[in-house]
Chains A and B, each alone.
Chain A
Amino acid sequence: MKTVGFEPRIVGILCNWCSYAGADLAGISRIKYPANIRILRVMCSGRVEPTFVLQAFASGADGVLVSGCHPGDCHYLEGNYKAFARKELLETLLEQMGIEKERFRLTWVSANEGELFARIVGEMVREIKKIGPFYLPKSWMHELQENKHGFHAEEKEAAVGGGVVER
């Protein structure tokens, strides 16, 4: 599916120490990248729960980027490993929901990789432009009307993963 003039909306959830700083460096270095991404800060990529990603899609995002420190470089020792552990389950879940894999990315960007960050955003925008806008599945609409403050614990439980929930 392709849409003419389609500008994807991407939510970026970045860890404070590496990726957010990397995105800052892209700015300091005046590296231009598409304005399609809106960046949020968390202290660690380990903070990012699947609910955040699902909420972003539910709120109309066409893509979600989660980015943390490189493996071994986590400011909190191993938070990024936890994020990585959740990734697989989240990807399976997104696949089951019919969300293309291009729409979600977990990357590692360090504080001095401004260029890399800009490149990742550029790539994501290009890829999502190819697959077109994300339309909310009908079943989700119902869920959303039910609760205004995001997902309930049940969905969350299903989506936590990372060896945390026994299934």
Chain B
Amino acid sequence: MSDIKVGVYVCHCGTNIADRVYVSGVAEFAGSLPNVVVARDNQYMCSDPGQEMIKKDIKEMNLNRIVVAACSPRMHEPTFRKCLESAGLNGYQFEMANIREHCSWVTEDAEEATEKAKALVAAAVARVPYHEALYERFTDMCSRTLVVGGGIAGIEAALKVAASGNQVVLVEKEPSIGGNMARWDKTFPTMDCAACILAPKMVAVSQNDNITLHTYSEIEKVEGFVGNFKVTIRKKARSVEMDKCTGCCLCYGKCPVKVPSEFEAGLGTRKAIYIPFPQAVPNKPVIDRATCTYFKNGKCGVCRKTCPTGAVNYEQEDELLVEEFGAIIVATGWQTFDPALGSQWGYGRYDNVYSAIQLERLVNASGPTKGKVVMKDGRSPKSIAVLHCIGSRDKNYHEYCSRLCCMSSLKLALLLKEKTKGEVYNFYIDIRSAGKGYEEFYNRVMEEGVHFIKGKGAEVIEKNGKLVVRAEDVFLGKYREVPVDMVILSTACEARSDAARVAQVFGIQRSRDGFFLEAHPKLEPLRTATEGIYIAGCCQGPKDIPDSVAQGAGAAAEALSLIAAGKVKISPVVAVVDANKCAGCKICLPLCAYKAISFDSISKVAAVNEALCKGCGTCAASCASKALNIKHFTDEQILAQIKEVLAV
């Protein structure tokens, strides 16, 4: 391999690497390795001067392989590939040694780190002689976008994509879009009514010709890859034929079954055939088969008899749709923490302990009490405690801060003060009011006479027939027992209970808190590890409305920039068969999850369809004749790396 000319570049990354790794020593060592023509170190290899240095060396020294020892290839591999290409070298004649994330940042001892860096560089240098020039290809793609979840983030994403003239399918699990925001009364810090700003958007979705809406539907399966996803959508049987139903509401007036309403957080009731809330989109009912008398014992059928258009159809079955999409936006949202899990707060034990979401319904003019704040016995409360951080900032439940509950608690406190004119106490650890107009809002709530007690509400207990909140007033350093008529628990925002299943369907990873994991915590907040699948809103972590809307719009931009390109890039890292070695044993065929390997019955050898192959290498690992290999991850390359990484 006398024609191999390797250039090695060791990055200081400011002090990130140089603090632990003796960088110039590593460069000097690299210079002594076989095939290495030049080895240098530089402050920042990814900077313009760093890249220029590589380009200049390629031209002047006729280098044909480049090794950069710097950060993770997951960070800057594309950067350096481009750099090589602009100097006339194929981007795959390149290897990165990860001496930052895997070395300087994780090693205490500088000497050990330097030795480790040398080994990693040596392995990379040993690998590159086996590299080949590889070329990316492009394939056609589908221009439709799938949006999963019809909360405010999903609605925003769907509307933005649709506005570009591209087709969108919006899938929502519940019978109506609107999500959690549809349940709120007012929104902080402006106190404008949630329904007033959300309803027009919901209507816009139903009226947009570019949006196909599937409510009461779920995603069953996602196959394929970026540009060409094949998605199976299950449209659950609504038992009401949408095209016949006029939304006249006669059916549920007559329905004899009453069950607690999910939308009213258990405070009100609904029928077995119901529209979840008055502004629902679509404004057509659904039968809840689990509680419907007809479905339980075959008797009743009142709604069918009542319906003037014959829209009620008990025999309707689930429908499976298989559709193609270029991009997918997942905006499946969040749920509230169940405060009954912390028995000390008395939820479920005392009548007048409410969750924040219940209070939202209580203060809402269309809620179960028509907006009146009353206790279970109908009296108006004279004193109310709002307990912050229920389930948040608590290692026993969720360690993270739920971010939106401080402001939501302030909003609720203000509404309570206005509606009851009573004493309102906020028990808090810290007030987190970072956001436009948020601190000003906090000040306003204080000035309205709401009490703030710094100290987490430790417990709610009944004493002589009255609720008592026990807490320390941290500022005073004194224990307090505050008697109140009503307690509001400001519950955490948590990942949905089905998040694990949804993540598996879409191939999304989750962070430790259960929310979906973004591709990069700072620079790729909307992407996931799977190309073409984006996330927006609270499924990624707690967010308020402005942030969710911004993410919905951002995810739309991601999807559109993919679609606008019209083509998707296919990685050249694919399997390849050496027909001379292939024994035709067919072992590889069933191993391929993408059915990319076929058997050529004429030549009696395996053949790889590069358009289908994703380059995982499972086939190569299992080929007994060594006929299968993965480009850029060949046996030779990996074995050379293994041997050399241990030689130092």
Give A contacts to B, CB under 8 Å: 9, 11, 16-18, 20-21, 23-24, 26-28, 30-33, 35, 38-44, 46-49, 51-52, 55-56, 59-61, 72-73, 75-79, 82, 86, 110-113, 118, 149-150, 153, 156-157, 160, 162, 164-165
Contacts and interface: CB of A to CB of B under 8 A. Distances in A.
Interface stretch (B142-150, B423-431, B503-511): B503-511
Nearest to B644: A59
Given A41-B73, A112-B511, A164-B591, 7 more contacts: A24-B101, A27-B100, A32-B107, A59-B643, A75-B529, A82-B622, A162-B622
A56 B593 contact: no
Which residue, of B120, B630, B633, has the highest number of chain A Cβ atoms within 10 A? B633
B193 to A, nearest CB: 38
Interface string B610-642: 000011111011101110001001011011011
The 3 closest A-B pairs by CB, nearest first: A27-B101, A47-B617, A46-B618
B646 interface: yes
B384 to A, nearest CB: 39
Nearest to A21: B74
A52 B643 contact: no
A150 B594 CA distance: 30
B591 A82 contact: yes
Interface in B562-594: 573, 587, 591, 593-594
B217 interface: no
A44 B616 contact: yes
A149 to B, nearest CB: 7
A94 to B, nearest CB: 16
Given A82-B621, A111-B509, A112-B511, A35 B645 contact: no
Contact of A40 (B107, B625, B645): B645
Contacts of A165: 587, 624
A56 B642 contact: yes
Interface in B149-186: none
Contact of B74 (A24, A47, A73, A164): A24
B106 A33 contact: yes
Nearest to B623: A160
B529 A21 contact: yes
Contact of B102 (A17, A27, A32, A55): A27
B509 A73 contact: yes
A56 B545 CA distance: 53
A82 B35 CA distance: 37
Contacts of A55: 639, 642-643
A28 B100 CA distance: 9
B106 A26 contact: yes
B102 A23 contact: yes
A18 B529 CA distance: 9
B453 to A, nearest CB: 35
B117 to A, nearest CB: 10
A42 B633 contact: yes
A113 B618 CA distance: 24
Interface of B: 72-74, 98, 100-103, 105-109, 112-113, 115-116, 119-120, 123, 503-504, 507, 509-512, 517, 529-530, 573, 587, 591, 593-594, 614-618, 620-622, 624-626, 630, 633, 635-636, 638-639, 641-643, 645-647
B617 A44 contact: yes
Nearest to A162: B622
A49 to B, nearest CB: 4
23 contacts: A9-B646, A27-B106, A35-B106, A35-B115, A38-B119, A40-B645, A43-B630, A47-B620, A47-B630, A52-B638, A59-B643, A73-B504, A75-B616, A76-B593, A76-B594, A76-B618, A79-B593, A79-B617, A82-B622, A118-B106, A149-B636, A157-B624, A160-B621
B381 to A, nearest CB: 43
B100 to A, nearest CB: 6
B622 A164 contact: yes
B622 to A, nearest CB: 5
Nearest to A116: B512
A47 B616 contact: yes
A110 B514 CA distance: 13
Contacts of A18: 509
A41 to B, nearest CB: 7
A58 B299 CA distance: 75
Contacts of B507: 73, 75
Nearest to B127: A40
Contacts of B621: 46-49, 82, 86, 160
Contacts of B587: 164-165
Nearest to A77: B593
